[in-house]
Amino acid sequence: MPFSHPVRLVAYLAAVIAVTLIHDPRVLLLMLAGLLLSSGPSRLALLLRAGRPVLWILLLISSGLLVMGWLTGQPVLHALLLINLRVLVLALLTAWMLRDVDLDLALVRVPQVRRWLVIVRAQVQLFRRLVQDYRCAQKSRTVVAPTLHQRYLGSAAIGLAALDKGVHNAEMVTQAMRSRGALHD
């Protein structure tokens, strides 16, 4: 893609809004086909990545619509196609954007937002790793399967320990970087 990352991000935002203004399933189907064709050789992986978070919600809405149509006798095919295609096109657009847009570069003109996105994203990764570490440590020392009560207690202890460690790490890193003149906030 020859465009810069900020341009790609703006194009994505414009496309998302445009999709919510289209109410013809045929146009949305064409868009979906166009997106899949132009998204490169990993299009199947992209479609799977896009479909996974919305699959259950679409299944629930579609089955609800079919039941409603069956009970009332009203045609629901148009609404069924429209809603499913719109949600899928939007999810595919988001998955494509996530693959091809570097948010750090795209948000270079909005440093406050970029700063917080980077900080929180790093903390999320750190927090998950801490929880995983503690969970592994707990499992390796547990011989018999814990009861539900023990699992709740264990999860609470792991969560609080990870929170302590996360806060401690974040404070230490911030103080160390600030004292060395690395932070300019």
Partner 1 sequence: MHIPDGLISPQTYLPALVVAVPLWWWAARGLAHQVGDEALPRLAVFTALAFVLSSLMLPLPGGTSGHAIGVGLLALVFGPWVAFLAYTLVLILQALVMGAGGLTALPVNALAMGFIGAWTAYLLFHLLRPVHADFAVLAAVFVAVLFSALLVALVLGLQPLIAQGPDGSPRFFPFGWSVTLPAILLPHLFIGAAEAALTLLVWRHARRRCWIPSACGREA
Distances (CA, A) of 177 to 90, 130, 165, 174: 40, 21, 18, 5
When asked if residue 87 is in the footprint of partner 1 (CB under 8 A), the reply is yes
Minimal distance in Å, beta carbon 157 to partner 1?
A: 10
Number of helices and strands in the chain (H, E): 7, 0
CB 116 within 8 A of CB 110: no
When asked if residue 129 is in the footprint of partner 1 (CB under 8 A), the reply is no
When asked if residue 176 is in the footprint of partner 1 (CB under 8 A), the reply is no
Stretch that binds partner 1, among 30-38, 40-48, 135-143, 164-172 (CB under 8 A): 164-172
DSSP 68: H
Q: How many angstroms separate the CA atoms of 86 and 133, rounded?
A: 40
Q: How many angstroms separate the CA atoms of 41 and 147, rounded?
A: 48
Pattern 37-76, binding to partner 1, x per CB under 8 A? ------------xx-xxx-xx--xx--xx--x------xx
Instruction: Please give the helix or strand (H or E) that residue 173 lies within, else none.
Output: helix 148-179
Helices 77-100, 43-72: inter-axial angle, 10-degree rounding = 160
Stretch that binds partner 1, among 29-37, 38-46, 137-145, 155-163 (CB under 8 A): 155-163
What are the residues whose beta carbons fall under 8 Å from the beta carbon of 40, sequence distance 6 or more? 46
Among 78, 129, 139, 151, which residue interacts with partner 1 (rule: CB under 8 A)? Answer: 78
Tally Cβ neighbours within 10 Å of residue 46.
Answer: 20
Minimal distance in Å, beta carbon 3 to partner 1?
A: 18
When asked if residue 10 is in the footprint of partner 1 (CB under 8 A), the reply is no
Among 26, 99, 121, 151, which residue interacts with partner 1 (rule: CB under 8 A)? Answer: 121
Using CB under 8 A as the criterion, which residues of the chain lie in contact with partner 1 when the complex forms? 13, 16-17, 19-21, 23, 49-50, 52-54, 56-57, 60-61, 64-65, 68, 75-76, 78-79, 82-83, 86-87, 89-91, 94-95, 97-98, 103, 112, 116-117, 119-121, 123-124, 126-128, 131, 156, 159-160, 163-164, 166-167, 170-171, 173-174
